[in-house]
A and B are shown apart, each in its own frame.
Chain A
């Protein structure tokens, strides 16, 4: 009998298409379903072109869950010292939470705490306090909607706020809301963590979302990451949340996100084949650990 993972498995939309126009959403939803996934992750970088009601109808009809993700921008950054910039960041977060809710999603995650980019100075104490205060408010709004927020731990070139699991737990402690969970991403862990096991054990039952991506963000398993250790650790903490595959290639370009993510190389051309393979790769690791 074919093994069915108990974790819901997801895929990032940018594996299939660079934007979220109605035509692109149709394509993304169809491809996600065809590759056997349960969850579609939509980045909200292209939110103005997104028709929320139409997208929700397609996602619902396909029987998929949706998770939304985003990072902020330097002009709208809740980790800034400047109250006007913080206010813009807070508005962006509230709008994004509303879009996620409108799509029928219960999980909104990403670099919700800073711009997605290379900072020109370390995080200031005032900036960190602004992150905490803004996310406390957002967590309350999310709670009223039955939603969860994720703090995605990103590498040093994408944020100066949290680069390690230890950093993220301290931030989550300071926010102090039960619906703010930690989001681990193996791509970022490769740049910042000592290994792929201890961060998972450290986060434990506060882990709410997982990105699996290779060290170069290409084909899963074609790089050098210790997925055996990582999936063992997920089993050890009995993680039951979503696991979403993330991969980027210059073959699929988002006018906004590709350059933000520094995607210069062509690591694959065939998104659907890549996605189907990653789905098998993740399911096989989960099945092996269930048998262990």
Chain B
């Protein structure tokens, strides 16, 4: 069995500066480290010109993917229609950004705000999220863009914390271009077994964040990588596997607070990007070898 999984890295490895100069440098750094794909946070198209980063991606032969996390002001589960409308606008803008840089994937915390909720989710909030994402998905389909629903841990969403919940949510949206986005950092907190996402949502998983239990460099934590990768490959997953590792040494104060990064886990992004790619390749090769020998 040969793998076709494109291997990616989240731009946040080098920080969250959306300026064309910084983004262009990040594209070069990802290419230098050997990645096929770079995940770019959606920018505000009113203030940032996407053309330079699009050109850099093209120049370096790096495939983009786009991500975003909704916030309290554009939460599609909100009871306030204006807030939901903001969420719809932000999702549409992310799709527009994707088309401008040549990405065919937009994923992330698209289903609720990435925030510490103080109450359980409501049926009305969930229905609002389903409706909104269905609208965005239909529009995205016309541009050949797939929409990803990333389930996150209990501290970042009250709506979707497990693959089973995310799969049911995707089914409810009912559009072919909506997929489950697995992030192993969140899965390690919420899932009984790191092989469960593949077992319960295998055919719906369209994007994977490879992240350690503590979001440090891959391989330095407690995540059971062989169990994870064997389960995904056995389920036929051939989509992107994107390294996500952040350190407060590199990430600015705003995003650090958003994702609760209070300590520097490493300080050289180029070194971490290269080491994480080597680790991922070796782990994928081992998983493939193990599956090839399974009777």
Chain A residues contacting B17 (CB-CB under 8 Å) are none
Chain B residues contacting A118 (CB-CB under 8 Å) are 115-116, 155, 260
Partner of A192 from B115, B154, B191, B214 at Cβ < 8 Å: B214
User: Do A259 and B214 have beta carbons less than 8 Å apart?
Assistant: no
Give the shortest distance, in Å, between A255 (CB) and chain B (any CB).
11
Stretch at the interface among B6-14, B216-224, B235-243, B266-274: B216-224
Stretch at the interface among A45-53, A131-139, A221-229, A238-246: A221-229
Partner of A262 from B155, B193, B248 at Cβ < 8 Å: B155
User: Do B194 and A156 have beta carbons less than 8 Å apart?
Assistant: no
The verdict on A191 contacting B224 (CB below 8 Å), with A160-B260, A224-B194 known, is no
Stretch at the interface among A32-40, A96-104, A120-128, A283-291: A120-128
- The winner among A117, A158, A194, A222 for most chain B CB atoms within 10 A is A194
Instruction: Assess whether B188 is interfacial by the CB under 8 Å rule.
Output: yes
Chain A residues contacting B188 (CB-CB under 8 Å) are 190-191, 215, 224
Instruction: Assess whether A164 is interfacial by the CB under 8 Å rule.
Output: yes
Instruction: Assess whether B120 is interfacial by the CB under 8 Å rule.
Output: yes
Instruction: Assess whether A264 is interfacial by the CB under 8 Å rule.
Output: yes
Give the shortest distance, in Å, between A249 (CB) and chain B (any CB).
12
User: Do B224 and A224 have beta carbons less than 8 Å apart?
Assistant: yes
Give the shortest distance, in Å, between B83 (CB) and chain A (any CB).
20
Once the chains are docked, how many angstroms separate the CA of A222 from the CA of B190?
A: 12
Once the chains are docked, how many angstroms separate the CA of A119 from the CA of B263?
A: 14
Once the chains are docked, how many angstroms separate the CA of A263 from the CA of B154?
A: 7
Give the shortest distance, in Å, between B229 (CB) and chain A (any CB).
15
User: Do A194 and B158 have beta carbons less than 8 Å apart?
Assistant: no
Once the chains are docked, how many angstroms separate the CA of A68 from the CA of B260?
A: 27
User: Do B116 and A264 have beta carbons less than 8 Å apart?
Assistant: no
Partner of B222 from A119, A194, A262, A265 at Cβ < 8 Å: A194
Partner of A117 from B116, B162, B248 at Cβ < 8 Å: B116
Instruction: Assess whether B213 is interfacial by the CB under 8 Å rule.
Output: yes
Return the chain B residue nearest A214 by Cβ: B192
Once the chains are docked, how many angstroms separate the CA of A240 from the CA of B205?
A: 46
Chain A residues contacting B155 (CB-CB under 8 Å) are 118, 155, 157-158, 262
Give the shortest distance, in Å, between A245 (CB) and chain B (any CB).
17
Return the chain A residue nearest B115 by Cβ: A118
Once the chains are docked, how many angstroms separate the CA of A181 from the CA of B113?
A: 37
Give the shortest distance, in Å, between B165 (CB) and chain A (any CB).
8
The verdict on A157 contacting B260 (CB below 8 Å), with A264-B158, A264-B161 known, is yes
Chain B interface residue count, CB cutoff 8 Å, equals 36
Chain B residues contacting A120 (CB-CB under 8 Å) are 257
User: Do B262 and A160 have beta carbons less than 8 Å apart?
Assistant: yes
Interface residues of A in 141-164 (CB under 8 A from B): 155-158, 160, 163-164
Once the chains are docked, how many angstroms separate the CA of A164 from the CA of B188?
A: 17
Chain A interface residue count, CB cutoff 8 Å, equals 35
Once the chains are docked, how many angstroms separate the CA of A250 from the CA of B154?
A: 13
Main SS of chain B's interface residues? loop
Instruction: Assess whether A88 is interfacial by the CB under 8 Å rule.
Output: no
Instruction: Assess whether A167 is interfacial by the CB under 8 Å rule.
Output: yes
Chain A residues contacting B86 (CB-CB under 8 Å) are none
User: Do A226 and B222 have beta carbons less than 8 Å apart?
Assistant: yes
Q: Mark contacts of A210-240 with chain B using CB atoms, 8 A cut-off: 1 yes-contact digit, 0 otherwise.
A: 0000011010001110100000000000000
Give the shortest distance, in Å, between A291 (CB) and chain B (any CB).
26
User: Do B120 and A250 have beta carbons less than 8 Å apart?
Assistant: yes
Return the chain B residue nearest A191 by Cβ: B189
Chain A residues contacting B263 (CB-CB under 8 Å) are 163-164, 167
The verdict on A157 contacting B161 (CB below 8 Å), with A191-B214, A216-B189, A216-B190 known, is no
Once the chains are docked, how many angstroms separate the CA of A155 from the CA of B190?
A: 14
Instruction: Assess whether A209 is interfacial by the CB under 8 Å rule.
Output: no
Chain A residues contacting B156 (CB-CB under 8 Å) are 157
Chain A residues contacting B216 (CB-CB under 8 Å) are 194
Can you sample 24 A-B contacts with CB below 8 Å? A118-B116, A122-B253, A122-B257, A123-B262, A157-B156, A190-B188, A190-B189, A191-B188, A193-B221, A193-B222, A194-B222, A196-B222, A215-B189, A216-B190, A216-B191, A216-B192, A224-B188, A224-B191, A224-B193, A224-B224, A263-B154, A264-B158, A264-B161, A265-B162
Interface residues of B (CB under 8 A from A): 115-121, 153-156, 158, 161-162, 188-194, 213-214, 216, 220-222, 224, 248, 253, 256-257, 260-263
Q: List the 10 shortest-distance A-B pairs measured between CB atoms, nearest first.
A: A157-B155, A262-B154, A156-B260, A118-B116, A160-B262, A264-B158, A223-B192, A259-B118, A195-B222, A262-B155
